[in-house]
A and B are shown apart, each in its own frame.
Chain A
């Protein structure tokens, strides 16, 4: 019988704007994620939230099987040689459980006046430096964005295989991810099959360039999720996620508006007046809450283009459908948002527990499909 495709589920993206708890509670959530069946836990690297590397280490030490990934760091925040050493150290502490996630870092403010030139080259060069250092090589490198001279890890890794994830939304970065990543991460927040297939085509193009096929790497898809036992408690905060996704997909927020490499997908179906209202009356980067009058503009139809939200059962069925429509995907990365009420930890924990039901359902469906195919 053909083995069932067992998807890997990743929880993310903490710490984030809505998070108001001590860092120890992130570790508690990682433990809860492990308990309900998540495979991986992504830790964000947002300036100046709890430090990504410290939080990752704390999560690794308090869990047993969960993969812990930077989701995502970038080539500019610290030199890639330091990023390599930090991930190698974590791998040494928890072999086989560390993933290095990288993105272009376009959306990080330049707090110390640093520039972020050539993000695609910078990611490519960062990956080359990290891989060479993981392998124990002395790295000398003069790239377009990064340089390093004679950097070598002063310790040996028993398991040097640290997967590298590249998060991509734009076509150039998708191609690069297809060419070199171990985990290609579709970072777009638009739950649309045609858009997924466009992204996949770009990744395949990159894979060909790298002499690879899509079977040579993982494909991870971002899905924003908000789950609560009471449907309405999930649907209202889900509009916050949807609003963020709308601004990104429309290229209408401050970091997207100047991007020449971004085209709004033809399938994007949000009235311009909604986009314009969100763009002019809300800053997703500084305001954790979406004002009520803007949330009211996001109808159920619009919301469902971007977010899986509701009771656990309906989310499980929708997620199973999403997975069926994306047979190449090997993983789902949950961009979680807490439902209303309680502390932010309580909210995230409720979504995580709801996801336990979703994960179980998706795995069961995949097994059933595989069994059917075998018959």
Chain B
């Protein structure tokens, strides 16, 4: 199981950029395989942070988690990832998503996100192969673009983050790493997601085991179980709003169907939706947190001590044997600085990673 630490920088993060690099170093020491750097406007620049993390580590893979086709032209995204891969051979991953949740700060339109992701992946792969690219897509166009240096790997891994059914299929069709981005920690839901991925893979004539499958795992881990569970209510609330399509970017999505397994009472969804904006408010108000019972919490987050979280991950691993990696969306307990909270949680993950990866996989036996 490959463990990815993500997703910084993001809301609430007010630490210096150097602290991101230190977290990457600690993640490497704790046994994480990958470190995801977000591309949120206008936090610390994704490619600058990725470069700094790559240079500050020796083994860790560093991925954009995720960039999108609209923020900068895909040919620039290709050149930046190839440059990073040249600086740190074999350690760069390009993560991409539809970008539908990024505000349009300069009035840009973001038409046809599925086509845009497909076209971006095609452009990047052609450029990494050293080809001179002429491309007239539905969204993207490019004329006579060619890298002026030889990309060290023509096959820099491409991760596609997906929640909607069509993006899941596209990921199955194209991605080296399919990222199931849903924050709904439900085996049945993820099996449905995997079915969509497999559908895409089959349509493209790809073997089902020819790519990785990564799932998002919102979590908070601490020796202080209650503190961890309290902190996890924030990503759980976010997961509820996403899964219920009840926040501002999800509401209008025609490609989203609320999973049948979703069992959060309507009044909780309504309260979260009307009284909290997770895009701008780092903290979940206490009265809303109280609405998220333990049962609900466990549907949307991994929360508690290292040992119990490891046991739950082993169970997920057993239930979903096709999963090859976990992307940890960590939210530290309150009480210390955010940076120190992440430091403490990465330490806890050393135990989790050991317990998960050293355990005899029951599904294999």
User: Is residue A152 contacting chain B, with contact meaning CB distance below 8 A?
Assistant: yes
Binds A, one of B80-88, B187-195, B289-297: B80-88
Contact B80 A85 (CB under 8 A): no
Which among B49, B52, B75, B86 is the interface contact of A47 at CB below 8 angstroms?
Answer: B75
The answer to whether residues A48 and B148 also contact, given A57-B51, A58-B87, A149-B107 and a CB cut-off of 8 A, is yes
Q: In the complex, what residues of B have CB within 8 A of residue A93's CB?
A: 17-18, 21, 48, 52
The answer to whether residues A53 and B45 also contact, given A82-B71, A112-B143, A154-B40 and a CB cut-off of 8 A, is yes
Alpha-carbon distance between A90 and B45 when the two chains are bound, in angstroms = 9
Contact A82 B72 (CB under 8 A): yes
User: Is residue A65 contacting chain B, with contact meaning CB distance below 8 A?
Assistant: no
Contact A54 B51 (CB under 8 A): yes
Residue of B nearest to A109 (CB): B144
Which among A15, A17, A48, A155 is the interface contact of B44 at CB below 8 angstroms?
Answer: A155
CB distance from B203 to the nearest CB of A (A): 29
Complex interface bits, A304-319 against B, C-beta within 8 A gives 1, otherwise 0: 0000000000000000
Total B residues in contact with A, Cβ cutoff 8 Å: 52
Residues of A71-104 contacting chain B, CB below 8 A: 77-79, 81-82, 84-86, 88-90, 92-93
Contact B45 A47 (CB under 8 A): no
User: Is residue B141 contacting chain A, with contact meaning CB distance below 8 A?
Assistant: yes
User: Is residue B55 contacting chain A, with contact meaning CB distance below 8 A?
Assistant: yes
Residues of B130-154 contacting chain A, CB below 8 A: 140-149, 152
Contact A155 B141 (CB under 8 A): no
Contact A89 B142 (CB under 8 A): no
The answer to whether residues A81 and B16 also contact, given A48-B146, A54-B51 and a CB cut-off of 8 A, is no
The answer to whether residues A89 and B41 also contact, given A48-B146, A149-B105 and a CB cut-off of 8 A, is no
User: Is residue B101 contacting chain A, with contact meaning CB distance below 8 A?
Assistant: no
Q: In the complex, what residues of B have CB within 8 A of residue A46's CB?
A: 148
Which among B72, B144, B148 is the interface contact of A78 at CB below 8 angstroms?
Answer: B72
Which among B9, B21, B79, B103 is the interface contact of A155 at CB below 8 angstroms?
Answer: B9
Alpha-carbon distance between A151 and B40 when the two chains are bound, in angstroms = 12
Complex interface bits, A169-211 against B, C-beta within 8 A gives 1, otherwise 0: 0000000000000000000000000000000000000000000
The answer to whether residues A85 and B45 also contact, given A23-B83, A50-B83, A78-B76 and a CB cut-off of 8 A, is yes
CB distance from A190 to the nearest CB of B (A): 27
Alpha-carbon distance between A57 and B62 when the two chains are bound, in angstroms = 15
Contact A92 B16 (CB under 8 A): yes
Contact A50 B149 (CB under 8 A): yes
Contact B41 A151 (CB under 8 A): yes
Total A residues in contact with B, Cβ cutoff 8 Å: 49
Alpha-carbon distance between A51 and B78 when the two chains are bound, in angstroms = 9
Contact B42 A58 (CB under 8 A): no
The answer to whether residues A111 and B143 also contact, given A48-B75, A49-B149 and a CB cut-off of 8 A, is yes
User: Is residue A156 contacting chain B, with contact meaning CB distance below 8 A?
Assistant: yes
Residue of B nearest to A80 (CB): B106
CB distance from B359 to the nearest CB of A (A): 38
Interface residues of chain B, those whose CB is within 8 Å of chain A, are 9, 11, 13-14, 16-18, 21, 40-45, 47-52, 55-56, 71-73, 75-76, 78-80, 82-84, 86-87, 103-107, 127, 140-149, 152
Question: Could you give 30 example pairs across A and B, Cβ below 8 Å?
Answer: A23-B149, A47-B76, A47-B145, A48-B76, A51-B79, A51-B82, A51-B83, A51-B84, A53-B80, A54-B48, A55-B83, A57-B47, A61-B52, A79-B106, A82-B41, A85-B44, A85-B45, A88-B44, A89-B45, A90-B45, A90-B48, A92-B16, A92-B17, A93-B18, A111-B75, A112-B145, A150-B103, A151-B105, A153-B42, A156-B14
Interface residues of chain A, those whose CB is within 8 Å of chain B, are 15, 17, 22-24, 27, 46-51, 53-55, 57-58, 61-62, 77-79, 81-82, 84-86, 88-90, 92-93, 109, 111-113, 133, 146-156, 158
11 extra interchain contacts, Cβ-Cβ under 8 A, other than A82-B45, A151-B105?
Answer: A15-B148, A23-B83, A48-B127, A54-B80, A57-B51, A58-B87, A78-B73, A79-B72, A81-B105, A149-B107, A154-B43
